[in-house]
Chains A and B, each alone.
Chain A
Amino acid sequence: MTSMPFYVSPEQLMKDRADYARKGIARGRSVVVLGYDRGILFVAENPSRALHKVSEIYDRIAFAAVGKYNEFENLRVAGVRYADLRGYSYDRIDVTARGLANAYAQTLGTVFTQESKPYEVEIVVAEVGESADDDQIYRLTYDGSVADERGFVAMGGAGDVIENALKDRWTPGMSLGAALTLAVELLGKDPAGGHDRTLEPTQLEVAVLDRERPRRTFRRIGGGLLRDLLNHTSRVTNAPEVDDATPGHHDILTGETPRDETTNPQTQRPAAEEADGD
């Protein structure tokens, strides 16, 4: 072990690391997470179709992040592994956002104090509950601190500005269309006070945790459905309750003709009350 050439106070060391992480995060585009009447909505400014900032973790849990892609992708994969292992060795209902947020907090905290460089990320772990009151949104920062947020969170370069605006304008029980329009408008604001931008659907990554769905509740929103939700003149204000009809991966809702019935992987049989209905 080499001896330390200069004395650096712990306060200074931590401050330097925090400044470093904050600078990295502030360079990136923002992500907004907010509740709507049927679930939790995630909106990110992200022109990439493949490198996601918002992803599914488990049945009712999703993950959103800003900062360095390789670092939060690493955390996302760890989260999927954590959730799948827990669900496999206990039961699906025993996988909770709180447990995952704690595991992330410990990891980020250890990396912040012990590794040569902190993670330049800020993440949200959200779990959709039976009702809006049971929704949980945890925000985790680069140093491992956790905040239990109510209703909405904004992260990234313009996070503070967007969050202040949400304090005035977000209300519980908004429709998906209204919540999405608000989030997109705020993402387009210039924190430096310049001209507002109008974000096109192709620049957005949008996903929901839909509390009305059985089992896996995470769906991305794209195509015609996203355009219709953003269009004030269309009457579409909510996501369809059934998946797209085209055979294939049903993680994205595009608003095309819905299929006859949803099938969910691993659903052995419909729940008793559903079976009575047909």
Chain B
Amino acid sequence: MSLGPDAGRLPAAYLAAGSSSFTEFLGAHAPQLLPSRRPLPAGSFEAPHGTTIVSATFDGGVVMAGDRRATMGNIIANRDMEKVFAADEYSAVGIAGTAGIAIELVKLFQVELEHYEKIEGALLSLEGKANRLASMIRANLGMAMQGLSVVPLFAGYDLERAGGRIFSYDVTGGCYEEKDHHSVGSGSLFARGSLKKRWRPGLSTDEAVTVAVEAIYDAADDDSATGGPDLGRRIWPTVAVVDEVGVRFLPDDQLRGVVEEVLAARDGNPGGAR
């Protein structure tokens, strides 16, 4: 590095006016840090994949749950991976797809939201957050074409409407608002069937948590890439609740109670409650 006239001072991109987006700043100043701006090697390879995420609304909020398994072909790459994250104080994001890139995108999304908050001194609207995530997924299309796709599920508490909302995405960055409940990932078909039968309007928080854990259980029952609750290792699904208080993750002892209840109800009745 040569010592030019700018040596040591903050580069021009830092002092440029206008943008309150961290991703745009990275694109201008350090594009190599954006997953979508890195050149891809030719050929294909196997990388760990994250699997099933479910989300369901309840009276006054929304719950999001994810299994803990990452797979690489027929191998279980990770048994206790976290795939549901708090995006900011009032929203959660769950990811299915290539784990490494998905987690990088979530990290970038978290900084994006906090960066906006600090620069603007205000929170983004829930649609604003959902659209930011959509543009990040859209930028990832080139990687998705090579098999490194990431499909998130975004859920948050809408401060304007005072209720929970769910947004789903496709690999091209399409963002769709879902009513009531949704699921993504390899086990999502089975989870969706379960949600359809078990979800009803006006659920309480605890009921919604049980419905979400059952949906993960049903997905794990029929999809080999989705991990069910593991009692021996004490691995439970990750469950986040988003309501007017903010995002919180359920503690392990509470999840253990929910899982044990679900298992007891299925003892000799593997289809579960209906």
Chain A residues close to B by CB (< 8 Å): 50, 52, 55-57, 74-75, 77-78, 80-82, 84-85, 87-89, 103-104, 106-107, 109-111, 114, 247-251, 259-269, 275, 278
Q: Count A-B pairs with CB separation below 8 Å.
A: 113
Residue from A87, A268, A278 in contact with B85 in the complex, judged by beta carbons closer than 8 Å: A268
Cross-chain contact of A249 among B33, B122, B244 (Cβ < 8 A): B122
The contact size tier of chain B is 35 or more
- Given A78-B14, A80-B118, A84-B114, A265 contacting B248 (CB threshold 8 A): no
| Chain A residues closer than 8 Å to B26, beta-carbon distance | 85
Among B10, B22, B114, which residue has its beta carbon within 8 angstroms of that of A78?
Answer: B10
Give the contacting residue for A247; candidates B25, B30, B87, B244; CB below 8 A: B244
Task: Determine, out of B104-112, B226-234, B257-265, the stretch whose residues face the partner at the interface.
Answer: B104-112
Cβ-defined contact, B111 with A88, below 8 A:
yes
Neighbour of A80 across the interface among B90, B108, B115, CB < 8 A: B115
Nearest CB in chain B: distance from A144 CB, A: 9
Q: Take A249-B123, A275-B251 as given contacts and tell me if A57 and B118 are in contact as well, using a CB distance cutoff of 8 Å.
A: yes
Residues A110 and B22 in contact, CB atoms below 8 Å apart: no
By the criterion CB–CB under 8 Å, are B30 and A85 in contact? yes
- A263 contacts across to B, CB distance below 8 A: 86, 89, 245-248
Judge whether B251 and A106 touch: CB under 8 Å. Answer: no
1/0 per position for B19-43, CB-CB distance to A under 8 A?
A: 0001001100110010000000000
The answer on a CB contact under 8 Å between A266 and B117 is no
- Of all A-B residue pairs in the complex, the 4 with the closest CB atoms, nearest first, are A263-B246, A106-B8, A78-B14, A265-B88
A residues near B273, Cβ cutoff 8 Å: none
A-B contacts, 9 of them at CB < 8 A, read: A56-B118, A77-B15, A78-B14, A81-B22, A88-B108, A106-B8, A249-B117, A265-B88, A266-B87
Q: A251-B121, A266-B86 are in contact. Are A81 and B245 (CB under 8 A)?
A: no
CB distance from B34 to the nearest CB of A (A): 11
Known contacts A89-B33, A103-B10, A247-B159; A74 and B118 CB within 8 A of each other: no
User: What is the bound-complex CA distance between A271 and B59, given in angstroms?
Assistant: 29
B9 in complex: contacting residue of A77, A87, A110, CB < 8 Å: A110
CB of B10 within 8 A of CB of A107, answer yes
Residues of B within 8 A of A74 (CB): 15, 17
Contact indicator B89/A250 (Cβ below 8 Å):
yes
| B170 on interface, CB distance cutoff 8 Å | no
New A-B contacts (10) at CB < 8 Å, excluding given A107-B10, A111-B9: A82-B14, A85-B25, A88-B22, A88-B107, A88-B108, A110-B9, A250-B89, A251-B117, A251-B121, A265-B86
Q: Is B119 part of the contact surface with A, judged by Cβ < 8 Å?
A: yes
- Return the chain A residue nearest B85 by Cβ: A268
A190 to chain B, nearest CB (A): 32
A265 engages B245 (CB within 8 Å): no
Query: Are B5 and A114 closer than 8 Å at their CB atoms?
Result: yes
CA distance A106 to B15 in the complex (A): 13
Q: How far is the CA of A155 from the CA of B98 in the complex (A)?
A: 51
Residues of A within 8 A of B169 (CB): none
Assess whether B10 is in contact with A82, with CB atoms less than 8 Å apart.
yes
Known contacts A78-B10, A114-B5, A249-B123, A264 near B30 by CB under 8 Å:
no
Kindly list chain B residues whose C-beta atoms are within 8 Å of the C-beta of A50. 121
| Chain A positions within 8 Å of B162 at CB level | 247
Q: Are A110 and B5 in contact (CB under 8 A)?
A: yes
A267–B86 touching, CB < 8 Å: yes
User: B25 and A81: CB pair below 8 A?
Assistant: yes
B110 near A265 with CB under 8 A, answer yes
**Alpha-carbon separation in the docked complex, A6 to B5 (Å):** 25
Q: Please, which residues of chain B bring their CB within 8 A of the CB of A266? A: 85-88, 110, 114
- B residues near A114, Cβ cutoff 8 Å: 5
Q: Say yes or no: B121 contacts A52, CB within 8 Å.
A: yes
CA separation between A264 and B114, bound complex, in Å?
11
The chain B residue sitting closest to A107, CB to CB, is B9
* B113 contacts chain A at the CB level, 8 A cutoff: yes
> Using Cβ atoms and an 8 Å threshold, which residues of chain A touch B119?
77, 80
Residues of A within 8 A of B244 (CB): 247
Complex CA–CA separation, A249 to B22 (angstroms): 19
For B10, the chain A residues whose CB sits under 8 A away are 78, 82, 103-104, 106-107
Residue of A nearest to B114 (CB): A265
**Please, how many angstroms separate the alpha-carbon atoms of A238 and B33 in the complex?**
42
Query: Residues of B contacting A261 with CB < 8 Å?
Result: 245, 248
Instruction: Looking at the assembled complex, report how far the CB atom of B22 sits from the nearest CB atom of chain A, in whole angstroms.
Output: 6
Give min CB distance, A259 to chain B, whole Å.
6
A264 touches B89 (CB 8 A): yes
A84 to B22, Cβ gap below 8 A?
A: yes
**Complex-state Cα separation, A227 to B39, whole angstroms:** 57
Q: Considering the chains assembled together, what is the distance between the CA atoms of A267 and B159 in angstroms?
A: 20
Q: What residue of chain A has the Cβ atom nearest to residue B162's Cβ? A: A247
For the complex, is B82 an interface residue (Cβ under 8 Å from A)?
A: yes
Q: Which of A57, A75, A85, A111 has the most CB of B within 10 A?
A: A85
In chain B, positions 64-121 with a C-beta closer than 8 Å to chain A are 82, 85-90, 107-108, 110-111, 113-115, 117-119, 121
